[in-house]
Amino acid sequence: MVLQPKSDPIPEAQAPERCLEAVERAVADLRRGGAVVITADDGDAVVARAAETVDTWPLAFFTSTGVGPMSLAITARRASILGLASTSRTVLLTASEPFTPECLRKLIDPQTEIGRVPPPGITAAAAPLHSAADAAVLLAKIARLLPAVLVAPLSSAPAAWARAGERLVVTAGAIEAHERHQADDLRPISEARVPLAGSENTRIISFRPHDGGAEHLAIVIGTPDPAKPILVRLHSECFTGDLLESLRCDCGDQLRGAVTTIAKDGGGVLLYLAQEGRGIGLVNKLRAYTLQDQGFDTVDANEQLGFDDDERVYLPAVRMLRQLGFTRVRLLTNNPAKVGALVRHGIDVTERVAHAFPSNSHNWAYLQTKAKRSGHLF
């Protein structure tokens, strides 16, 4: 779920547990280069494979009986980079020549100049909202892959076709509802006392959904009083900044500074959320860094890759706060979007507490972009 839903969710009749399991299995298949079958409520069905995993040609399951012409499903943002404007969320590309690995790389990889212009022989068409192809791109995002998927329609009996090839079937509805289901299913799993350099009186509580998906952490500092608005920081994990102390961002400073600030305030909670790189994952964040080195700012780099400038979700944070018994908070942030996200989901944000740190020569431009293009308040 995004901060402001871009469309109304389609009905989902399946049990959330079954949906979670199906989507997680589909994610695993996509990441290892396998194909999955995606079905939509209107009877639409496609066989789908993540484009960035294609390294051999031809792909046998796209040429078998019952499979229609192949297309490449990409986001409208990526299509616009290629000069193929569209008003739809997902765009279907067809080519006059076969989609070989080399052709696909030109279409999905912006790290070369040829990946920023429309290649010859490519035509574009809008994919219907909530269609199987539309859901396929969302599934690639959930898998933290580039949001580009080879899709081909199945003419009839998609379940039988999938069984014959021992391939998984997942519904578009399950994919659309995945982030909501994962957040709703979060539960505390383990807890331990972990003294920190900035606060010796600290507990860490791990949260995980039933399907074993992404784990989030609640770092409870001191003894916060649920009868009062507690000081809270929502911190998205950043391997490079938090662990390696990268100078390209201010994440490490914000993490360590939040622990110290909350401790001095008498107690509160730091939610450490598993959404690296503004929700695009570490691998894609490194791709974005390469683009930034070529002159793009952090927003444009994400969009070159086909992502929104910020793909993070905050429903897990809401779920964790509620399970911890905290519904009134003072939010330690410079990002008004975080305030809005919590308020929309019923958390009473009584105050936004500023949380800024000095820049350096490596992250000055990054911080300027956050202020000018993402609305951060410094």
CB 221 within 8 A of CB 259: yes
How many angstroms separate the Cα of 347 from the Cα of each of 187, 217, 336? 18, 18, 14
Helix (H) / strand (E) containing 126 = strand 122-127
DSSP state for residue 97 in the 8-state scheme: S
Q: CB within 8 A of 375, min separation 6: which ones?
A: 335, 336, 337
- From residue 100, how far is each of 63, 97, 104, 139, 281 by CA, in Å? 14, 8, 6, 22, 26
312 is known as an active-site residue: yes
One-letter amino acid at 38 equals I
Of residues 78, 144, 167, 312, which has the active-site annotation?
A: 312
Strand partners, 376: none
From 109, 185, 211, 310, the catalytic residue:
310
Q: Is 8 a catalytic residue?
A: no
- 375 by DSSP, 3-state: which? coil
Q: Report the greatest alpha carbon distance in the chain.
A: 67
Catalytic residues: 310, 312
